[in-house]
Structure 1
Amino acid sequence: MVNGPNLGRLGVREPDVYGRQDLATLRKDCVAWGQTLGLEVEVRQSDDEAEVIGWMHQAVDEKTPVVMNPAAFTHYSYGLADAAHMVTDAGLPLMEVHISNPSARDQFRRHSVISPVVTGTITGLGFFGYRLALEAVAHLIQQ
């Protein structure tokens, strides 16, 4: 599970938009949800675009499905979009998650360079969206 910029500030940054739970809670929840689905889940977060791109390359090399919240990188990171495309080109599930609904927010958030290359997108459901994304990954790898 890969999370982009500012998600390390969950619980502090705009709690009315992102909720009051923090990244440690998200980590704990996602690991538990993964266990119930037979998935080993590692939750990563970085404000560094190059590091996030490197994690996508690692997923391709290790043949690991990905749940990704690209956060602000959603709107402008063509480098991350290219790396995401490599994940799906490798035949791996890549689920995009957003805690809020970007389409219901600022105009600039309504454009995504990531969504066109992912397997599926879940938005606006808070942390529950991550659970749904993990369920989608489990379903897709069982097929």
Structure 2
Amino acid sequence: MTSLLILNGPNLNLLGQRQPEIYGRTTLQDIENQCLALAVELSIDIEFRQSNSEGELIDIIHKSRNTHDGMILNAGAYTHTSVALMDAISSAEIPTIELHLSNIHAREDFRHTSYIARVAVGVICGFGAYGYQMAIKAILNHVDK
């Protein structure tokens, strides 16, 4: 059975409360429930994790090597700053989709740079919580090739 890791970075634990005008009112638990329902429909396994710590995110990525077939990563602000996360993804050799709730290209200039995109299969941004379902289908399409 195909196994995916959905990994969320800093501040995503506050979804639904933090800047709802940008990120919406859907909570991370709501997103997890939606993803798990889709997983049942698609007959796949999903592990859902979140951390505010860059080191913990790296450890989770390392442990995903040879465990998961693909990863969806919303690295939050670490997207724009973390060479270490980029290196972890590259080292783990796990196909990864970079995901953002907001359209990072329509926001501040510093958000236009992504270290994660350099090692990702693709990037999905700007579709809110629905982006997670899009990312699941996209990574499955990639993994099945």
Q: TM-score range by the shorter chain?
A: over 0.9
1:42 matched to 2:42: no
2:82 pairs with 74, 77, 97, which one?
A: 77
Which residue does the alignment assign to 1:93? 95
Could you list the per-position Cα deviations for residues 7-61 of structure 1 after superposition, in whole angstroms to 9, with x for gaps in the alignment? 0000011001000011110110111112222211121111010110111111114
Which residue does the alignment assign to 2:20? 15
Could you list the per-position Cα deviations for residues 101-136 of structure 1 after superposition, in whole angstroms to 9, with x for gaps in the alignment? 111111111111111110111000001111011001
Could you list the per-position Cα deviations for residues 77-114 of structure 1 after superposition, in whole angstroms to 9, with x for gaps in the alignment? 11101011124xx3x32111100011111111111111
1:57 pairs with 62, 70, 94, which one?
A: 62
In structure 2, do the counterparts of structure 1 residues 58 and 64 end up closer, same or farther at CA, with 3 Å as the change threshold? farther
Distance 1:138 1:117 in 2: 17
Higher percent of residues as strand: 2
Percent identity for Structure 1 against Structure 2: 37
Distance 2:21 2:14 in 1: 13
The TM-score with structure 1 as length reference comes to: 0.93
Which residue does the alignment assign to 1:119? 121
Q: What 5-or-longer segments of structure 1 have no aligned partner?
A: none
Q: What 5-or-longer segments of structure 2 have no aligned partner?
A: 1-5
The TM-score with structure 2 as length reference comes to: 0.91
Distance 2:45 2:28 in 1: 18
Residue 85 of structure 1: SS of its match in structure 2?
A: helix
Distance 1:78 1:46 in 2: 17
Count of residues paired in the alignment:
140
1:134 matched to 2:139: no
Which residue does the alignment assign to 1:109? 111
Which residue does the alignment assign to 2:3? none
Query: Is the CA contact 2:69–2:143 (under 8 Å) kept in the aligned structure 1?
Result: no
